[in-house]
Amino acid sequence: MNDYSLRILYILNLEDMTGYGLSRKLYNSATGKNISNGALIPVLNRLLSDNFIDFSVRNGKKYYHLTEKGKKFVGNVLDLNEEVRDQAIFDAIDREFPYINVFTDVEDYTLLKNIIKDIGHPIIEIIRQAFYLGKKKDEEGIELIKTMMDELLERAKERNLRNNK
């Protein structure tokens, strides 16, 4: 399965879309332009023949959507992506605190990894939402997220100061 196939499946996991809509969403980094119909149609045909997608006609336009097989495949890819992301967070901790398991006991190290596991996903989701707001040029929404994160960080610091007294 090529890069365009995966991207098409991901997009269709979010919403049904026409071929034109897909072509507007798919960017070709080699040319710096959106994917051409000449490149898109064979990928759609392959996904159709492999039963990952299907289409229905509405208002004279073909709307592509995921089949059950396509939904299951995307779900598996997203689950794998979450595992890879979690491992990347753990690896980042190891790089950021390379000697944490030397200078602290195993319980502290395990606690830190569990905390990252618990809060890593929501932090990444906040970044994802900020990205979507940025794509929509919603500066007010981005500023709201920044303000809330600053307030949350300040509250956590204050709580740590209180607990250390």
Per-residue model confidence as pLDDT tens digits over 99-157: 655 555 677 777 777 777 788 778 878 887 888 888 889 999 999 999 999 998 899 88
Global pTM reads: 0.55
Domains present along the chain, CATH in parentheses? 3-67 (1.10.10.10)
Report the distance separating Cα 95 and Cα 103, nearest Å. Answer: 15
- Cβ neighbours of residue 48 under 8 Å, at least 6 residues apart? 54, 55
pLDDT tens digits, one per residue of 18-42: 999 999 888 766 677 888 888 899 9
**Whether the Cβ atoms of residue 73 and residue 9 lie closer than 8 Å to each other:** yes
Tokens 């932090």 found at: 123
Structural tokens at position 19 = 């071929």
Residue 27's CB is within 10 A of a number of other CB atoms, namely: 12
Q: Are the CB atoms for 2 and 45 separated by under 8 Å? A: no
Q: Which residues contact 77 (CB under 8 A, 6 or more apart)?
A: 6, 9, 10
Q: Which residue has the tokens 């365009």?
A: 4
